[in-house]
Amino acid sequence: MVRIALFSLMAMLSLGSSGAAAAERAGGRLRATIGACTIEAPADQALSFDALIADARTILPRVERELGTPAMAPYRILLIPPGELTDPEIARLDAAAPYWAAGFLLPAQRLGGIRMRSVGYYPYGDLSAVFTHEVTHMLMRDAAGDNMPRWFSEGVATGIERSWGLRDIFVYSSSLLTGSLPRLEEMDRAFLASSSEARRAYASSFDFVSWARREHGEEVVSEILRRAATLPFPEAWEAATGDTLASSEASWRRGSLLLYRWVPALTGTTTLWIVVTLLTFLAAARRRARSRAILERWDAEDGGMS
pLDDT tens digits, one per residue of 130-184 = 999 999 999 999 999 999 999 999 999 988 987 555 565 665 556 555 456 778 9
Mean pLDDT of the chain: 80
Please give the Cα distance from 260 to 204 (Å, whole number).
11
Nearest alpha-carbon partner for 21 in 34, 31, 11, 38: 34
The count of other CB atoms within 10 Å of the CB of residue 165 is 9
% of the chain residues with pLDDT over 90: 52
Whole-number pLDDT of residue 226 = 96
Instruction: Note the pTM of the prediction, 2 decimals.
Output: 0.74
What fold characterizes domain 1-146? Zincin-like (3.30.2010)
Evaluate if residue 265 carries a pLDDT over 60: no
Mean pLDDT for the stretch of residues 18-26: 54
The pLDDT value given to residue 292: 61
Q: List Cα–Cα distances, 210 to 20, 217, 272, in angstroms.
A: 34, 10, 30
Query: What mean pLDDT comes out for the span 114-129?
Result: 86
Helices 127-144 & 220-228 angle (0-180, nearest 10): 40
Asked whether 183 and 248 are in contact (CB, 8 A), the reply is no
- CA distances to 79, 86, 94, 120, 167 from 116, in Å: 7, 15, 11, 9, 20
Sheet order of strands, 111-115 included: 24-26, 29-34, 37-42, 75-80, 111-115, 103-106
Give the per-residue pLDDT at 209: 94
Give yes or no for residue 72 having a pLDDT over 90: yes
Question: Rounded to whole angstroms, how far apart are CA atoms 11 and 17?
Answer: 10
Residue 67 has pLDDT above 90, yes or no: yes
**Which pLDDT belongs to residue 204?**
86
Residue 5 has pLDDT above 50, yes or no: no
- Euclidean distance between the first and the last CA atom of the chain, given in angstroms as a whole number: 98
Across residues 289-303, what is the average pLDDT? 56
pLDDT at 94 over 70: yes
Q: Residue 305: what pLDDT? A: 45
pLDDT, tens digit, 9 for 90 and up, residues 201-241: 888 888 899 999 999 999 999 999 999 999 999 999 999 99
Alpha helices per DSSP H over the chain: 2-16, 46-67, 88-94, 127-144, 150-161, 166-178, 184-190, 195-216, 220-228, 233-241, 245-260, 262-267, 269-305
Lowest-pLDDT choice from 120-124, 208-212, 280-284: 280-284
Q: What sections of 17-149 are H helices per DSSP?
A: 46-67, 88-94, 127-144
Question: In this model, does residue 272 exceed pLDDT 60?
Answer: no
- pLDDT (0 to 100) of residue 306: 44
Give the pLDDT band of residue 106 (cuts 50, 70, 90).
very high
- Which one-letter amino acid corresponds to residue 285? A
Given this model, what pLDDT does residue 195 score? 78
Q: From CA 287, how far away is CA 280, in angstroms rounded?
A: 11
Confidence band for 3, pLDDT divided at 50, 70 and 90? very low
More reliable by pLDDT, 192 or 224: 224
C-alpha closest to that of 161 among 208, 214, 210, 112: 210
Q: How many CB atoms lie within 10 A of CB 226?
A: 20
